[in-house]
Structure 1
């Protein structure tokens, strides 16, 4: 089996374009959740700063690209630049794209509805289908960079990008590719998606307070993230920088309730990820949590962590990036993972913001005082989703020469 590493990362988040914008926002304990003027109602969201996309694409490209595809292309370019990939020096047929999305081109779908039912148009733009289709981001990444391996799109709600990374890990581990662009993207801050979530009564009216007493629900956000994942041998052969190791992957389904989270499924996913990593639970010191800020989800995730780690749970550091940027839906996992990866490189764990008081059923160390200096050698990234879907990734610090 091949060892799998990450050699580049790129992202678009409510803090702006680029991994540095994300990292600066997280470590400075800024919250990007604010009132979004184009959305109905009184709730806040994590939106990309206005004008951030201006000048990034030509007029012709904007005809073809949904907002979510724009996020993916910007993140992919940043990740590939960091990885210093020369396509002329690799086998394009062994370079793949695995992307996740929860709602695909919903922004373009909403615009089409407005054209038909508000403006009274009898026709739609010819690029409507290519903009709306869920696989648009993966396909455009493949087209733009000349990747001729499989270009896959996974849609598993809030777990989409984390599962895409996990499946890319399997592809590389089993030798079916040398390099994969993996991640996810979603641009769901439009009235169509907003009103659907509003109907579920799952959104907080103010901000996201994961694991805190008094939390009132999740907050929507938008963004995208891409990792360059490679076999270790491929990365070494081309002299690529290794940022982190992907050590294991756990995935399962509850086969229970469509919307209600469980304890057993998330616990099993974490056990699966650690078992495939070959590391003992005591080797893990940080969990980059799913941490949505809903009453039941946070309690279930806490209970699952305690079930898996026992007494060691009291020594774990657990934080939720959603407290700073909101829930990026299909892109949540990868953008949050990038925050965790930067934490291992910079030796500072991003905090859980907006924490007010302890919940008796959420009794772990949630890093609430601000970014915390800490060395992390092994950690987990959790993502759970409607449909009873549970995903966990085990990741580790890059091994230095001689270790």
Structure 2
């Protein structure tokens, strides 16, 4: 057990802990949101929701959650699904390694647990892609185990309750909040307790425009009582994503089909289809700003590089499209579009490409950058 006093934190006496649990759970019982995953104790369904909710808003997740469970209702279905099926179901949620890891975990459960979700916390935590937070959430909500689920929302609330002077963004400090939760969690209703703190942190004690006066536990909050709410939680600013410029090539053949390419790399957006892309470079490696770079006319050598790489004789169209921007956690893509027509559509390339009619686009998983590129193209086409 971590000694919280070493971190300047004095744990409450038992009677105060009990009173805190009651105040929090009474509020939760009256104000909890009616969410589809809260109507189930199925660990598979709870797991799907928890993975989807990472870095994604609740209202965005609901239709994805319902569609995912409709198409893949069991662990076995997920384990055996084709990669393009799971990517299509996840299309637009981002952080695609999450769903790939889910499939690997489902395959683990098929191999090691007979297709059933393990009930022990340590076994849940051993599954691919399941970290301490997700393991605690599943264990507490599905199996009523008194295991903390410590996410950013929970750390924010705890920081204010105890005036924790440690950066919540540093993984090394997570043990402090884990230890606090081990003391506070309600052993009778651990799942509700975890979800109540999550709800409190995402709404009343949100990172932007919190409403501390409305908090059901304000009388327990050292930061509220001491007037230090603005100080907590302590969190260093994130590094800005690195800007990278791309050129996208929207190529049509004589049958009005578009050239799509599958990303066969193992990194970002692996397995997704998009218009062919060539990287222009990172801003720091250029003599001009990214804005100037992205706004500049398509360089002849980029067009030639495309023609050489794909073995296509392209009739380039001098159309101007709205530049596309998409921000990942560590990259900011700026994408300039150019259009071309071909008569001979034989692609001489080792790349995985396909000519696809618009009415068949729905069969292919498109990540957000491709969706934005298509929207930009459609807007221009509509105004011709």
TM-score scaled to structure 1, two decimals? Answer: 0.22
Answer 1 or 2: higher relative contact order, Cα 8 Å, separation at least 6.
1
Bigger fraction of residues in helix? 2
TM-score scaled to structure 2, two decimals? Answer: 0.23
Bigger fraction of residues in strand? 1
Return the index of the structure with the highest Cα Rg.
2
